[in-house]
Amino acid sequence: MYRYDEYDRTFVAERVAQFRDQVRRRLAGELTEDEFRALRLMNGLYLQLHAYMLRVAIPYGTLSSRQLRMLAHIARRYDRGFGHFTTRQNIQYNWIKLDEAPDLLADLAAVEMHGLQTSGNCIRNVTADHWAGVAPDEIEDPRIWCEIIRQWSTLHPEFSFLPRKFKVAVTGAPNDRAAVKVHDIGIRMHRNEAGEVGFEIIVGGGLGRTPMIGKTIRPFLPKRHLLSYLEAILRVYNEFGRRDNLFKSRIKILVHEIGAAEMTRRVEEEWALIRGGALDLPIETIAAIAAQFTPPPYASQPEGVAEIDALRFGEPGFARWLKTNVAAHREPGYAIVTLSLKPEGGPPGDASAAQMDAVADLADRHSFGEIRVTHEQNLILPDVPRVALPALWRALTALNLATPNAGKVTDLICCPGLDYCSLANARSIPVSQRLTLRFNDLARVHDIGDLKIKMSGCINACGHHHVGHIGLLGVDKGGEEFYQITLGGSAESDASLGAILGPAVSSAAVVDAVETIVDTYLAERRTGERFLDTYRRVGAEPFKERLYAAA
């Protein structure tokens, strides 16, 4: 994985010193809250309902065990012993004191981490396929490009006061696990007819109150041009993006209003003037960054593992876990393991300091010291020898991190909601906890199969409800929490936006409603159909009928 050099280290240390001075000036009254707001946001510090929240960047979701131990330390030292992994592969701490924030950032800097560009109207922390580098279907490791983008976008002087926040995601595989079509810019690596690897550039996707699927403005961009092309897009957006209405300020609205063809024309016109210039990527630069993402020293592994076969028959829990939480690896004898942060009754995406420390140890023992964070709010050990799976499963079971539900009904993602967030209309964590309790029969969970539930506590859609197979959106109805249900969304290669099923349901009724929807699917499905397949085949009617018939 990428290690900082002297330049990166110096930069982050200078940034910490700068922020320490800004906090001092705020506490001394030299800065107004309004002026300070922009500065703290650029360091990932939000003022929430009860306290400051700090969002720490985990570039493209890759962590070393040393970094994860520091995140545990921060949870213990500056928070209440927990951290919350987010849908943008970051981690948030919800109980931070302003005067301690500079020390916290200094601790993070010691392990090459920071909160830069995790908020504010700038180019945010870049996200990637959480299976980057290990997925069997991958063309090239997308993190090389994320790292190049991370460096270029870091404190970019021209693009730090954009009309609105700006999110970029990169996938290096045909199966999109990075949701690139619902980002401001989505980058998909692929091969052209000549066999060269380059990028498809997708612009103007996004969720929020006006969800849109992104449009391809360039089917193939050679690698060396990536940064100049991004700079051209950002420059067009900075000039023409709407600034008169907060809710219309994302690039998706610009693309929608002027059309994809005009957007393409403007970007290409700007790019023609800067391509081949100072942002042209030299082969040595690409090679130097790529060298930081070379695979770990894999060893040859035995073909079959007798203990796995024995456990598979003896332990239904292990058999289920193997089926859902263990995925095929590109290297023979290795596996990708998902650590579920969605235990029965737990807040999705939360991890305790003790769990983080333990996962760091397990990563050292079984996965070359590397951990990934997924946008579905789970953790991953990317390089586990299959022979270690039984021991790992036992260890994870003891840590309550082995719930065999990856990709299933209880692997739901949700935003912090009204328990923490000052924007939310409704709570999301308690609803997700009730859902995991309702669907606590693992045999049933496995029978239901692949099903993504995504929940947001307000229209800003941090929980990606528009692209959930079942989406839940918290709304306020006369001071009461209600939930609007959408069906049929997807953030993957077959991206689609969910359609509203009918009137919102009350908090008391929402778990029953989800169960009714799941039961309707089970009654309607044909052999081999996932929830989404059945919905796409039969449409909303049967679901509507079952859910609203009684009303």
Partner 1 sequence: MPLLKNGAVIDDKWRRLADEDPLPGTDAVIVTLARWRADRALAGRLGPLGLALKNSEPVQALAEELHYFELVVLEFPKFTDGRAYSQARLLRERHGFRGELRATGQVLLDQLLFMQRCGFDAFEIAKGQPVEAWRKATASFSVFYQPTGDGREAVDSLRRVLGGRA
Q: Which spans of this chain sit near partner 1 (rule: CB under 8 A)?
A: 5-8, 10-11, 14-15, 17-18, 21-22, 30, 35, 38-39, 121, 151-162, 235, 238-239, 243, 273, 278-279, 282, 284-285, 288
Question: How many helices, marked H, and strands, marked E, lie in the chain?
Answer: 18, 21
By the 10 Å C-beta count (0-12 exposed, 13-18 middle, 19+ buried), 400 is classed as middle
In the complex, minimum distance from the CB of residue 60 to partner 1, in angstroms, rounded to a whole number:
16
The smaller minimum CB distance to partner 1, of residues 45 and 336, is found at: 45
The smaller minimum CB distance to partner 1, of residues 277 and 316, is found at: 277
Phi (first) and psi of residue 243, to 5 degrees: -120, 5
Cα–Cα distance for residue pair 383/274, rounded to 1 Å? 41
The smaller minimum CB distance to partner 1, of residues 273 and 310, is found at: 273
The smaller minimum CB distance to partner 1, of residues 287 and 310, is found at: 287
Cα–Cα distance for residue pair 167/147, rounded to 1 Å? 14
Cα–Cα distance for residue pair 147/294, rounded to 1 Å? 14
The smaller minimum CB distance to partner 1, of residues 91 and 230, is found at: 230
The smaller minimum CB distance to partner 1, of residues 117 and 403, is found at: 117
In the complex, minimum distance from the CB of residue 273 to partner 1, in angstroms, rounded to a whole number:
7
In the complex, minimum distance from the CB of residue 8 to partner 1, in angstroms, rounded to a whole number:
8
Strands (E), 192-339: 197-203, 215-222, 326-328, 334-339
Give bridge partners of residue 127 from the DSSP assignment: 169
Token reading at 351: 């991890």
In the complex, minimum distance from the CB of residue 267 to partner 1, in angstroms, rounded to a whole number:
14
In the complex, minimum distance from the CB of residue 191 to partner 1, in angstroms, rounded to a whole number:
26
In the complex, minimum distance from the CB of residue 234 to partner 1, in angstroms, rounded to a whole number:
9
Cα–Cα distance for residue pair 233/549, rounded to 1 Å? 49
In the complex, minimum distance from the CB of residue 253 to partner 1, in angstroms, rounded to a whole number:
16
The smaller minimum CB distance to partner 1, of residues 154 and 216, is found at: 154
Cα–Cα distance for residue pair 439/449, rounded to 1 Å? 12
Q: How many Å is the Cα radius of gyration of the chain?
A: 23
By the 10 Å C-beta count (0-12 exposed, 13-18 middle, 19+ buried), 66 is classed as middle
The smaller minimum CB distance to partner 1, of residues 157 and 528, is found at: 157
In the complex, minimum distance from the CB of residue 403 to partner 1, in angstroms, rounded to a whole number:
40
The smaller minimum CB distance to partner 1, of residues 7 and 313, is found at: 7
- 168-171 and 127-128: which strand pairing? parallel
Cα–Cα distance for residue pair 118/270, rounded to 1 Å? 28
In the complex, minimum distance from the CB of residue 292 to partner 1, in angstroms, rounded to a whole number:
9
In the complex, minimum distance from the CB of residue 274 to partner 1, in angstroms, rounded to a whole number:
8
Amino acid at 317: G
Give bridge partners of residue 474 from the DSSP assignment: 483
The smaller minimum CB distance to partner 1, of residues 120 and 347, is found at: 120
Cα–Cα distance for residue pair 423/434, rounded to 1 Å? 22
Amino acid at 23: V
Amino acid at 431: V
The smaller minimum CB distance to partner 1, of residues 39 and 322, is found at: 39
Alpha helices in 95-135 (DSSP H): 101-109
Token reading at 415: 């935003």
In the 3-class helix/strand/coil scheme, how is 187-213 assigned residue by residue?
EEEEECCCCCEEEEEEECCECCCCCEC
In the complex, minimum distance from the CB of residue 14 to partner 1, in angstroms, rounded to a whole number:
5
In the complex, minimum distance from the CB of residue 401 to partner 1, in angstroms, rounded to a whole number:
35
| Dihedral over alpha carbons 88, 91, 96, 102 (to 10 degrees) | -90
The smaller minimum CB distance to partner 1, of residues 121 and 410, is found at: 121
44: phi > 0 → left, psi -120 to 50 → alpha, else beta; which? Answer: left
Token reading at 198: 């380059």
In whole angstroms, how far apart are CA 440 and each of 16, 33, 400, 411? 45, 46, 14, 12
